[in-house]
């Protein structure tokens, strides 16, 4: 028996394998009911279960461990693992050190939090502890105690891993490592962090002269440098924060790499994974920023597979695009692995959020349509927190498939239906694909903003006007890219792919008729040149709302502008423009890019009659440039997206008479699947070719064809 990850899906004994997992927390349940919970999950059609292993729960006092239930039957981890094997479920274990999971102290032992020195914690710029349960990941003290925990738990995991006849097939390494800084809006200025930052800069620049040339500074040595603090007041501050963002991606990679090396010293050979906060609390617009914090380790270590949290709490027409966008972004950044949800909503985290089972059924099938090919229902079983260990009281999760007493809820039958569909179709479904002629460029430097202009920061550190910039990268990311372009394309039922522009090839890009990219004023020279090459070799580049003329450190970089022979200036004008004969199209900002119209096809004008959009041939291809910012808030915006797509004869994958119906066509080796999705709160009747279909409010239908 063997379990691993490959490009596109997981493998079991060398064959494509759909992981259908359900989260069950043994430490939150009556041990007498463990087997009943596991059997309910197995009977639903699942093949895997998942659980955290809280450090705090098992090392209840320093150097006092219980894995066999001597102090509390619910601590009998060994028994629980054996029950998973008995029932016939694979097991994903998540031993931390951090688990979060709404568990007090994030799973770190209370004795450790009481004992840890100040230098073991993440510290703010004034040397104050950011949070009692936030350690500085690379501090010697924190790692020392974490490895002592590993010395106890890893031999158990090793003994019960699949290669030794046990049920454990996957292990999560820590949990959501970047989320604390994001949620707190605080930077860790721990002495160890600053030392590593200094080493990072020395390794990156080699000489202080090269750093000075980049920053526009006059430092005599690296020793004169310090980590950025406070607001960005000038170019030097901006450069320092940009490098600090890069460093943090290096820092998280170092931390996970350190844990992985320790784990592998115990002869553990299960598939490693880690979860990333993705679609949480309604909209996933922050995902590109959150996933970018893992950029380095996703690029350098293919032995750890990343999964997303798909926890929308609610699904509607307003946020349905988040599903596809999340999956496509993960696929772009992790082309070597499957698209899987480490946490897949099953019930709700908070009591006041009511989750309709029919809505979740539609959400589940939509996720399959949008390329999700393995998942972990979170939570399958409700839990009751050990005394004093829950964030929000005694009960953990609501409206789950099974209550804490192992009683089925109305959601159980829905899950059984979804699992039944997957088990029947899994071989063909896993290898099925959507076809797209449209590529959307993912440019990660636009997402390195969590330390300067994050949603969670009360006081934004970046003031773009002070730097003479037009766009806040966060606004571009959320309103123009994610909630604008990606939502618009999906609403129109145009299939798209996403490519990581820093880690793709010209050959990959040329497979697409169109390449869309939303931009700010800065972009590195190599990426600018890649876009030029794409156009000259026959592609159609759509770029807006501004032509980049600077590199990532705000130094002059005009490769794109010069190679495309674009002459541009900036001018304020009324918010409405006319583009492709679409009148009164609303733009977000008054400032527009104005283009010299000589030898260019004019496609957009301001109310002042200035040219703010052009289309031109360059080499064997075409570039469409729009010098204004727009998202998707009106019919005019949707009409514009459609007009541009149709310029290259791109067609939808099916003909559906009602444009309100979302659909996805997935083609497999033997069969194709047409997923029909009604995200509206009213019944819809429509035709698919010659076939008449009726869908009830917020529902879905799958049509299988040879």
What is the Cα–Cα distance from 590 to 586, expressed in whole angstroms? 10
Tell me the catalytic residues: 176, 343
What is the Cα–Cα distance from 101 to 592, expressed in whole angstroms? 46
Q: Are 419 and 45 in contact (CB under 8 A)?
A: yes
Q: Are 335 and 386 in contact (CB under 8 A)?
A: no
Buried b (16+ CB within 10 A) or exposed e, 16-42: bbbbbbbbbbbbbbebebbbbbbbbbb
What is the Cα–Cα distance from 337 to 307, expressed in whole angstroms? 10
Q: Is residue 378 left, alpha or beta, with left meaning phi > 0 and alpha meaning psi from -120 to 50?
A: beta
Query: What are the E-state strand segments in 334-412?
Result: 341-345, 375-378, 383-384, 395-396
What's the Cα-to-Cα distance from 540 to each of 227, 516, 625, 643, 646, rounded to whole Å? 42, 9, 11, 14, 12
What's the Cα-to-Cα distance from 683 to each of 141, 660, 677, 696, rounded to whole Å? 60, 11, 11, 4
Provide the 3-class DSSP secondary structure of residue 83: helix
Nearest to 576 by CA among 544, 616, 615, 610: 610
Token pair recorded at residue 689: 């070719």
The DSSP secondary structure of 89-118, one letter per residue, reads -EEEEE--S---TTBGGGG--HHHHHH--G
What is the Cα–Cα distance from 401 to 571, expressed in whole angstroms? 57
Buried b (16+ CB within 10 A) or exposed e, 263-282: beebebebbbbbbbbbbbee
What is the Cα–Cα distance from 176 to 99, expressed in whole angstroms? 8
Cα–Cα–Cα angle for 203, 208, 214, nearest 5°?
Answer: 90
| 617 sits in which H/E element | strand 611-618
Place of tokens 């430097």: 445
Provide the 3-class DSSP secondary structure of residue 518: strand
Nearest to 621 by CA among 506, 526, 495: 506
DSSP 646: H
Token pair recorded at residue 679: 């995200």
**Sign of the dihedral through C-alpha 528, 532, 538, 540:** positive
């Amino acid at each position: 028996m063997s379990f691993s990850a490959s490009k596109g899906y997981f493998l079991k004994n060398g064959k494509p394998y759909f992981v259908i997992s359900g989260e069950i927390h043994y430490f939150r349940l009556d041990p007498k009911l463990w087997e009943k919970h596991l059997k309910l999950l197995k009977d639903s059609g699942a093949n895997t279960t998942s659980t955290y292993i809280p450090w705090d729960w098992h090392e209840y006092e320093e150097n006092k461990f219980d894995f066999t239930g001597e102090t509390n039957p619910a601590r009998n981890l060994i028994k629980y693992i054996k029950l998973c094997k008995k029932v016939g479920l694979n097991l994903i274990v998540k031993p931390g050190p951090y688990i979060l999971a709404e568990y007090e102290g994030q799973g770190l032992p209370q004795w450790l939090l009481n004992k840890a020195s100040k230098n073991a914690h993440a510290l703010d710029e004034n040397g104050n502890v950011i949070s009692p349960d936030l350690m500085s990941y690379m501090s010697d003290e924190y790692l020392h105690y974490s490895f002592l925990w590993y010395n106890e738990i890893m031999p158990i995991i090793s003994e019960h891993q699949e290669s030794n006849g046990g049920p454990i097939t996957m292990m999560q390494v820590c949990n959501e490592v970047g989320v604390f800084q994001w949620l707190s809006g605080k930077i860790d200025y721990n002495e160890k962090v600053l030392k590593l930052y200094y080493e990072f800069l020395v390794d990156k620049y080699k000489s202080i002269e090269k750093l000075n040339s980049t920053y526009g500074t006059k430092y005599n040595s690296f020793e004169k440098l310090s980590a950025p603090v406070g607001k960005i007041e000038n170019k030097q501050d901006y450069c320092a924060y940009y490098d600090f963002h890069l460093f943090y991606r290096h820092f998280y990679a170092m931390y996970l790499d350190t844990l992985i090396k320790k784990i592998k010293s115990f002869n553990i050979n299960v598939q490693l994974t880690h979860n990333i906060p993705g679609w949480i609390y309604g909209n996933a617009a922050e995902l590109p920023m959150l996933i970018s914090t893992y950029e380095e380790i996703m690029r350098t270590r293919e032995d750890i597979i990343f999964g997303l949290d798909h926890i929308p709490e609610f699904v509607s027409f307003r946020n349905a695009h988040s599903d596809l966008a999340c999956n496509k972004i993960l696929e772009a950044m992790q082309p070597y692995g499957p698209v899987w949800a480490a946490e897949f909503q099953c019930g709700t985290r908070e009591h006041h959020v009511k989750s309709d089972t029919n809505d979740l059924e539609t959400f589940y099938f939509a996720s399959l349509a949008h390329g999700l090919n393995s998942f972990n229902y979170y939570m399958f079983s409700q839990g009751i927190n050990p005394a004093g260990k829950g964030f929000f009281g005694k009960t953990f999760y609501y409206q789950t498939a099974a209550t804490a007493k192992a009683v089925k809820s109305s959601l159980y039958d829905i899950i059984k239906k979804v699992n039944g569909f997957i088990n029947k179709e899994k071989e063909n479904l896993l290898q099925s694909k959507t076809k797209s002629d449209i590529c959307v460029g993912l440019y990660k430097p636009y997402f390195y903003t969590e330390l300067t202009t994050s949603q969670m920061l009360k006081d934004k550190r970046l003031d773009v006007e002070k730097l003479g910039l037009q766009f806040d990268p966060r606004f571009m990311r959320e309103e123009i890219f994610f909630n604008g372009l990606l939502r618009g394309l999906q609403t129109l039922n145009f299939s798209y792919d996403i490519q990581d522009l820093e880690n793709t090839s010209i050959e990959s890009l040329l497979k697409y008729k169109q390449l869309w990219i939303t931009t700010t004023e800065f972009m590195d020279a190599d990426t600018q040149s890649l876009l030029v090459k794409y156009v000259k070799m026959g592609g159609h580049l759509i770029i807006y709302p501004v032509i980049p003329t600077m590199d990532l450190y705000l130094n002059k970089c005009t490769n794109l502008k010069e190679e495309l022979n674009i002459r541009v200036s900036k001018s304020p004008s009324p918010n409405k423009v006319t583009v492709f004969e679409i009148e009164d199209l609303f733009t977000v900002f008054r400032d527009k890019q104005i283009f010299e119209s000589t030898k260019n096809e004019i496609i957009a004008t301001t109310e002042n009659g200035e040219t703010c959009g052009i289309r031109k041939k360059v080499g064997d291809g075409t570039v469409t440039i729009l010098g204004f910012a727009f998202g998707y808030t009106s019919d005019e915006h949707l009409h514009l997206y459609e007009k541009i797509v149709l310029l290259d004869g791109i067609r939808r994958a099916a003909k559906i008479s009602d444009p309100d119906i979302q659909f996805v066509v997935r083609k497999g080796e033997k069969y194709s699947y047409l997923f029909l999705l009604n995200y509206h709160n009213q019944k819809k009747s429509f035709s698919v070719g010659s076939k008449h279909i009726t869908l009830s409010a917020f529902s879905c239908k799958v049509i299988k064809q040879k």
